[in-house]
């Protein structure tokens, strides 16, 4: 039996014509009709933003990210809280970068598997890249850098920190 968890979908920017399709896709994953409260996204003209808290079985964030990935002009993040039997997750998407996925621990920290760290060290040792650049990719820094403007552009709305790489 899959344990229930919860999470949040942050649509950072979507053209108005895409919004009903986003609602349909998210509702299809959650198995219920979803009506999102869209507000203007000041960081990009003629786009809207929203967020939605969801409850569902473990793995729901991955299903939502899969349903939304690949849509041009859409930027989003989906989080999933860990349960007693599963780790948490964070998915970020931008049209230029594609999907970033990270496993998150109890306190929201990104947990990087040792094989991925070893691969980063080897690539750096071979001179293909730097270790700092590879660690930044493992932590999702390119996605954070691109999404940061959209996160803060609420024009007076309360800011909710999702992830900040120091």
Q: What is the pLDDT of residue 156?
A: 56
Q: What is the pLDDT of residue 1?
A: 61
C-beta of residue 65 within 8 angstroms of C-beta of residue 99: yes
Q: How far apart are the first and last CA of the chain?
A: 38
- pLDDT lower than 50: segments of the chain: 159-166
Residues 116-128 pLDDT 10s? 999 999 999 999 9
Q: What is the pLDDT of residue 165?
A: 45
Q: What is the pLDDT of residue 106?
A: 86
The encoded tokens of residue 10 equal 């942050």
Q: What is the pLDDT of residue 30?
A: 96
């Amino acid at each position: 039996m899959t344990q229930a968890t919860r999470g949040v979908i942050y649509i950072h920017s979507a053209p108005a014509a895409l919004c009903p399709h986003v609602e349909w896709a998210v509702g299809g994953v959650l198995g219920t009709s979803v009506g999102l409260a869209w507000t203007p996204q000041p960081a990009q003209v003629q786009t809207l933003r929203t967020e939605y808290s969801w409850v569902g079985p473990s793995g729901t964030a991955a299903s939502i990210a899969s349903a939304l990935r690949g849509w041009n002009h859409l930027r989003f993040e989906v989080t999933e809280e860990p349960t007693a039997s599963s780790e948490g997750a964070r998915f970020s998407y931008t049209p230029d970068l594609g999907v970033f996925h990270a496993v998150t621990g109890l306190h929201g920290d990104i947990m990087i598997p040792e094989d991925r760290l070893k691969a980063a060290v080897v690539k750096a040792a071979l001179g293909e890249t730097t270790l700092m650049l590879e660690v930044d990719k493992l932590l999702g820094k390119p996605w954070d850098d691109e999404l940061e403007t959209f996160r803060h552009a609420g024009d007076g709305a309360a800011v909710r920190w999702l992830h900040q790489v120091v």
